[in-house]
C-alpha cells in the first residue's frame, strides 16, 4: 500500500507524482455553505446556513482521476433530524464502494475552501469509519491550479471496491454527551463554524 509522508496533509508535488498510482483515490469535495441573515424573534440578526455541493465546478475541471463526493448529500444521513450528520455505516460503505474506494486505498481529499472545510469532513468521516489512510491536499484545488498542474473534464470510473466500515465511536459525541462534559477539567470545546454563525 502506498503511504503519504504525513498523516494529515500531502503536498501538490507528491500528488502529481502519484496520479497514476492504482492504490490512490483522489476525491473532489468542493462545495459551499451559503448563509442567509434574517431577523430573530427579538429583533436580533440571525444567520442560517444552507449546504450545497459544487458538482458543476467538478465537471468543468478537476484533478485527473478525481471522483466527486457531494458532502451535502452523498455522505450524510438523509433521515437524521439534525442536518448534515454523517451517513450510517451501510450507506457510507455503499458510496465508497461505488466510487472504487476500498480498504486498500490511500484517499486524498481536496476542495476550494481556504481551510479545506469540506475535504477535512471526508477525512474525519473516513477516520470515523476506521479508514485512516486518508490525507488532505495541502492548499487544495486553488494551489493545484495556481501551479499550472494538469486538469481534466472526463469523469473517471473505477471498479467497485470493498469498503469495510469499523466505527470509531470515540471520534463522535452527541449533544447530550457534550453537555455532560461541559465544565470538566481537561475538556475543551471548539466551535469551528464561520464567525457569523458562531455569534448568532
CB 110 within 8 Å of CB 65:
no
Q: Which parts of the chain are beta strand (E)? A: 9-10, 24-28, 31-39, 45-53, 67-68, 106-110, 134-137
In a domain, 183, yes or no: no
Report the number of distinct structural domains present in the chain.
Answer: 1
Mean of pLDDT over the chain: 90
Per residue in 83-119, pLDDT tens? 788 999 999 999 999 999 999 999 999 999 888 889 9
* Residue 56, pLDDT score: 94
- Residue 20: C-alpha distances to residues 63, 98, 111, 161, 185 (Å): 12, 20, 20, 18, 48
Owning domain of residue 163: 9-168
* Residue 199, pLDDT score: 72
In a domain, 175, yes or no: no
* Residue 16, pLDDT score: 97
In a domain, 135, yes or no: yes
- φ and ψ at 113, to 5 degrees? -75, 140
User: Of the segments 20-29, 82-91, 179-188, which one has the largest average pLDDT value?
Assistant: 20-29
Give the three cell numbers for residue 168: 470509531
In a domain, 28, yes or no: yes
In a domain, 47, yes or no: yes
CATH number of the domain where residue 131 is located: 3.40.250.10
Give this prediction's pTM.
Answer: 0.86
In a domain, 18, yes or no: yes
* Residue 114, pLDDT score: 84
In a domain, 188, yes or no: no
What is the mean pLDDT of the segment spanning 132-140?
A: 96
Amino acid at each position: 500500500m502506498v503511504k503519504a509522508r504525513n498523516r494529515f496533509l500531502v503536498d501538490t508535488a507528491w500528488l502529481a507524482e502519484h496520479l497514476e498510482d492504482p492504490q490512490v483515490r483522489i476525491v473532489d469535495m468542493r462545495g459551499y455553505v451559503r448563509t442567509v441573515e434574517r431577523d430573530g424573534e427579538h429583533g436580533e440578526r440571525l444567520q442560517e446556513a444552507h449546504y450545497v455541493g459544487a458538482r458543476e465546478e467538478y465537471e468543468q475541471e478537476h484533478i485527473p482521476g478525481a471522483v466527486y463526493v457531494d458532502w451535502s448529500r452523498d455522505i450524510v444521513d438523509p433521515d437524521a433530524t439534525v442536518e448534515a450528520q454523517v451517513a450510517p455505516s451501510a450507506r457510507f460503505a455503499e458510496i465508497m464502494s461505488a466510487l472504487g474506494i476500498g480498504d486498500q486505498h490511500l484517499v486524498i481529499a481536496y476542495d476550494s475552501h481556504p481551510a479545506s472545510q469540506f475535504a477535512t469532513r471526508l477525512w474525519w468521516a473516513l477516520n470515523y469509519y476506521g479508514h485512516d489512510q486518508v490525507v488532505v491536499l495541502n492548499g487544495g484545488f486553488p494551489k493545484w491550479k495556481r501551479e499550472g498542474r494538469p486538469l481534466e473534464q472526463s469523469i473517471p470510473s473505477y471498479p467497485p471496491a470493498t469498503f469495510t466500515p469499523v466505527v470509531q465511536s470515540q471520534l463522535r459525541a452527541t449533544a447530550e454527551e457534550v453537555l455532560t462534559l461541559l465544565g470538566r477539567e481537561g475538556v475543551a470545546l471548539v466551535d469551528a463554524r464561520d464567525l457569523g454563525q458562531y455569534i448568532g
